[in-house]
Structure 1
Amino acid sequence: MFKNAVQLFEIFGFKLRVDPSWLLIAALIVWSLSTSYFPEAVPGETRTLYTVLGIIAMLGMFLSLILHELSHSLVARSYGLKVGGITLFIFGGVAELEEEPHDPKSEFRIAVAGPLMSLFLAALFYGLTRLAADGTEIGLTGAVFGYLALINLVLAVFNLIPAFPLDGGRMLRAVIWQMTRDLLRATRISSRIGSAFGLFLMLTGAFAMFSGGGIGGFWQILIGFFILNASNGSYQNLLIKSALRGKTAQNLMSSRVHTIDPGASIAELVDDVMLRQGVSFVPVVSGERLLGYVDTAGAQSIDRSEWGMRRVADILVPASPENTAAPATPLDQVFKRIGLMPRRKLMIVEGQRLVGVISLSDLVHHLALEQEIGTSLRG
C-alpha cells in the first residue's frame, strides 16, 4: 500500500514506517503552530522559540498517532491476527492488518482500542496542562500539553464517526456483522456509509473553499476523497478475498498450454507458436522438464534477420520460484504474486513438470463472474 514508506524502527515487534507524505503534514503542523497557535497562546516570545515549540508539539502528535495505531496492533495480535506494521502518512496512521478479524467481537475491540487510547492521552495531556499552568497563565509547557490534549480529542472524536474505514465505521461493521452474521453484507453497508461521508466532506469542503475557507476547505476535500476511496477499496478487497477463498491455482489454471523446445529457432517460435496460436507467452520445456519461458519481448530483443539462426534458448527466462507456483497454492497468494510479474502470468508446476499456466486475466475474469453471479443472486 505504501511502497515508498521508510522503516524507522520496531516497537513491540511491529515495524514502524513513515511515508514521505507525512513530511508534508509535519511541516504544515510546525508552520501552523509556530505562526498562529503558539503566538496567541504565549505572546511575546521569539519566532525561533515558537518554531522549536512547534517541532516539539509535532513530535508529540507523532507519538500520539503511534500509540493510537499501536493499540489497534496489540489488540489485533492478542486475537492471533498478523499485523504487517504501522505506517504514518499524510492523513494520519494505519495499522496494516494482513487479514480480517475472525469474529465481530474481535473486530469491535480492535477498532475501539485506538479511540480509547486517544481519549486517554487527551485526558492525560489536559491534566498536565492544568499542572503546568501558573494561575491564569498556561506557560510554554502548558501550551504544548494543551495542543496535544486537543489534537488527541479531535483524533478520537473524528475516528469514532461511524464511516468505514474509520474506527467508528469498523465498530459499526462489527455491530452489523453480529446482527446479520454476514461479514460481506456488513462491510457493504458500512462502506456505503463511509462513501457517503467522504462525499459529504468533499462537498462541504468545496463550499468552504468558494466561501473563503481557503486551505481548510481544500484539506477537507482531500480527507473526503481519501475516505471515499478507502471505503470503496476496502469493500472491493473483501469481495476479492471472498471470491478467492478456498480455491487454489489448480482451479483456475489453463492446462492446455502451447510449449516449445529450447533448440527451436526464434523464427519457429514466432511463426509456428506465437502467431499461429495467438499467444505472447510460451513455456519452454525439454521432455517433461520445464526450463522457463519466452515471450514477445525476448523475440523483439533479437534482430529479425537473425531469427532463423538464433535459438529459443538464447532468449529464455529461466524458471524460478518467482515465476512458478504449485497447483495447491491458494488463489489469494497467486493474486498477490502475479501482480509482481512483468508478464502477469505464473507457470504451475509439479516438481519440474509444467501442468498449466495462470494469468491475471484468468483471475480478473473469475472475479468479475463471481461478482456478477453474487449480485444477481442478491437481487
Structure 2
Amino acid sequence: MFSGSRKILSLFGFEVKIDPSWFLIAALITWSLATGVFPTSLPGASENMYFLMALIAMLLFFASLVLHELAHALVARSFGIKITGITLFVFGGVAELAEEPPTPRSEFFTALAGPVMSIALSLGFWLMGTALSELGFAGPATAVLEYLALINLVLALFNLLPAFPLDGGRLLRALLWHRSGNLLDATRIASRSGEILAYALMGLGFLSVFSGALIGGIWQIVIGLFILAAAKSSYQKQMMTKIMSGQKVSDLMTRNVFKVTPDSTLANLVDNIMLAHRVSFVPVVENGAVLGYVDLQTVLRIDHDNWQSTHVNDLFIVQDDSNRVSPDMTAKDLLDLMNRTNTRKFLVTEGGKLRGVVSMSDMINYFALSMQVASQPGSNAAQKHRPVKTTKRRTRDQASAERLTSHARE
C-alpha cells in the first residue's frame, strides 16, 4: 500500500516506515503549533522557542502514534496474525495486517489495544506535566506535555468512534461478528457506519470552509474522503474474499486463446492475432507444447521496419514458474501472486500443455459479475457460477474491483 515508504527502525521485530506523505502533515503540525497553539498557551516566549517546542511536540506525537500502532501489532501477533509493518503517513499511522483477524475475539482485542495505549500515554504525559508544575518548572516543557496529553486523549476518543475502519468500527465489527457469526454482514454494517462518519466530517469541513476556517475545513474534508474510501474498500475486499473462496484458476481463466508458433513473423503476429483479435498477450506453442509467450511490450522493442524479418522465436519469453500457474491454484493464491510479483497475466499449463490464460482482467470481470448477481435478494449464485463473457462497458462493480486489485504493492 505504501510503495514509497522507507524503513527508519525496528521495534519488537516490526519494521517502522515513513511514507513521503508524512512530511506534509509533520510540517503542517509543526507550523500550527509554533504559530497558534503554543503562543496561546505560553505567551511571551520567542519565536525560536515556539518552533523548538513545536518540533519536539510533533516528534513526540508521532512517537505516540508509533506506540499506538505497536500496541495493535503486538496484540495481533499474540493471536497469530501476521503484521507486515508499521507505517507513518499523511493521515497518521497504520499497522499493516497481512490478513484479517481469524476470530471476533482476536479482532476485538487487537482493535482495543491502540486506544488503550493512547489513553495510557495521555495519562502519563498529564502526570509528568502536573509533576513539573508542582515542582515549579511550569514553562515550555509543561506546555508540550499538556499538548501531548490532550492530543493522545483526542486520538483515543476519535479512534473509538464506532465507524469502520477506525478502531471503534473494528470493535463494532467484532461484536456484530460474534453475535451473528457472519463476518461479511458485520463488515457491511461497520463499513456503513464509517461512511456515515465520513459524510459527517465532510459536511463539517464544508461548513468550516464557508465560516473562514479554510485549512481546518479542507483537512476535515480530506480525512472524510479517506475514511469513506477505506470503509467502502474494506467491505468490497471482504466481498471479494467471499466470492473468490473456493474458486480456482480453472474457473477464472480464458480457455480458448489465440496462439502463435515460434516461426511466425512479428508482422503476422501483430496484424493477424493482436490487432485482429485485440489481444496483447499471446502464448507461443509448437506441436502442442507451450514454450512461453510474447506480449505487445516485447514486440514494441523491435523497430517496426524489422517486423517482417523478425520471428517470434527471436524474442518470446520462455515459460517458467514466474509466468505460469496450474489450473488447480486457488483464486486467493493467484491474487497474492499477482500482488507479490506485479504480474498481471499468466499462462495456465498442465503437464506441459497449454490450458488457457488467466489475467487480472479475468478476476475483475468475474468479481464484478458476481457482485451484480450477489446483489439480488436471496441469491447464492455468486459462489456457484463459472465466469461468463461480460460486455466491454466498464461497470461500477468493475471499477470497484479494479481499485481492490490495483494494490499490487500492498
Pick the TM interval, shorter chain.
over 0.9
TM-score (norm 2): 0.86
Show the counterpart of 1:201: 201
Range 350-359 or range 118-127, more displaced:
350-359
Q: Following the alignment from structure 1 to structure 2, what is the Cα–Cα distance between the partners of residues 313 and 375?
A: 48
1:364 corresponds to 2:364:
yes
Q: Which consecutive aligned stretches of 4+ in structure 1 deviate over 4 angstroms post-superposition?
A: 134-137, 275-278, 339-343
Match of 1:210 in 2: 210
Which secondary structure does the structure 2 equivalent of 1:285 belong to?
Answer: strand
Shift of 1:2: 1.3
Q: Provide the rounded CA distance (Å) in 1 between the counterparts of 2:34 and 2:304.
A: 66
Tell me the distance in 2 between the aligned counterparts of 1:14 and 1:356. Answer: 41
User: 1:177 maps to which residue?
Assistant: 177
Shift of 1:336: 4.2
Q: What root-mean-square deviation, in Å, do the aligned CA atoms of Structure 1 and Structure 2 show?
A: 2.2
1:143-165 Cα deviation digits (max 9, x unpaired) = 11111101100000000011111
Aligned to 2:38: 38
1:58 aligns to 2:53 (yes or no)? no
Distance in 2, matches of 1:277 and 1:200, equals 49
Question: Match for residue 93 of structure 2?
Answer: 93
- Give 1:18 deviation, angstroms: 0.9
User: 198-207 or 31-40: which moved more?
Assistant: 31-40
Q: Deviations over 1:212-242 (max 9, x none)?
A: 2221111111111111111111111111111
What is the correspondence of 1:1-379 to structure 2 with a 5 Å cutoff? 1-134=1-134, 138-275=138-275, 277-338=277-338, 344-350=344-350, 352-378=352-378
CA contact (8 A) 1:132 1:139 kept: no
Counterpart secondary structure, 1:95 = strand
Instruction: Report if the CA contact (8 A) 1:34-1:50 is conserved.
Output: yes
Aligned residues of 1:194 and 1:228 also touching (Cα < 8 A): yes
SS at match of 2:375: helix
Question: Per the alignment, do residues 322 and 377 of structure 1 end up closer, same or farther by CA in structure 2, a change over 3 Å counting?
Answer: farther
Could you tell which deviates more after superposition, 244-253 or 19-28?
244-253
- What's the CA shift for 1:3? 1.5
Summarize the Cα distance change of 1:144–1:185 in structure 2 as closer, same or farther, 3 Å threshold: same
Residue pair 1:339, 1:360 contacting (<8 A) in 2 also: no
2-side partners of 1:171 and 1:4: how far apart? 30
Q: Which moved more, 1:256-265 or 1:119-128?
A: 256-265
What SS class does the counterpart of residue 291 from structure 2 fall into? strand
Distance 1:343 1:34, change over 3 A: closer
Report deviation, 1:256.
Answer: 2.9
- Gaps of at least 5 residues in structure 2 are 380-410
Aligned mates of 2:341, 2:119 — CA distance in 1: 45
Give the aligned residue type for 2:25.
I
Q: Which deviates further from its counterpart, 157-166 or 342-351?
A: 342-351
Deviations 1:181-239 (A, max 9, x none): 11111111111111011011101110111012221111111111111111111111111
Equivalenced residue count is 379
Secondary structure of 1:346's aligned partner: strand
Cα gap change, 1:165 to 1:266, in 2 (>3 Å) = same
Give the C-alpha shift of residue 375 in structure 1: 1.3
- State the AA in 2 paired with 1:255: R
SS at match of 1:144: helix
Higher relative contact order (CA 8 A, sep 6+): 2
Deviation digits for residues 302-361 of structure 1 (CA, Å, limit 9, x no counterpart): 445543322112231333433222333321232344468888321123464433211222
> What is the percentage of aligned positions where both structures have the same residue?
45
Matched letter for residue 21 of structure 1: S
2:407 match: none
Q: Deviation of residue 134 (structure 1)?
A: 4.2
Distance of 1:305 and 1:174 partners within structure 2: 63
Match of 1:164, SS? coil
TM-score by length of 1: 0.93
Distance across 2 between alignment mates of 1:157 and 1:4: 30
Structure 1 stretch 164-173 or stretch 361-370: which is displaced more? 361-370
Q: Which moved more, 1:178-187 or 1:325-334?
A: 325-334
Write the letter of the residue equivalent to 2:188.
R
Output the CA distance in 2 between the equivalents of 1:13 and 1:135.
Answer: 39
Give the 3-state SS of the residue equivalent to 2:255 in structure 1.
Answer: coil
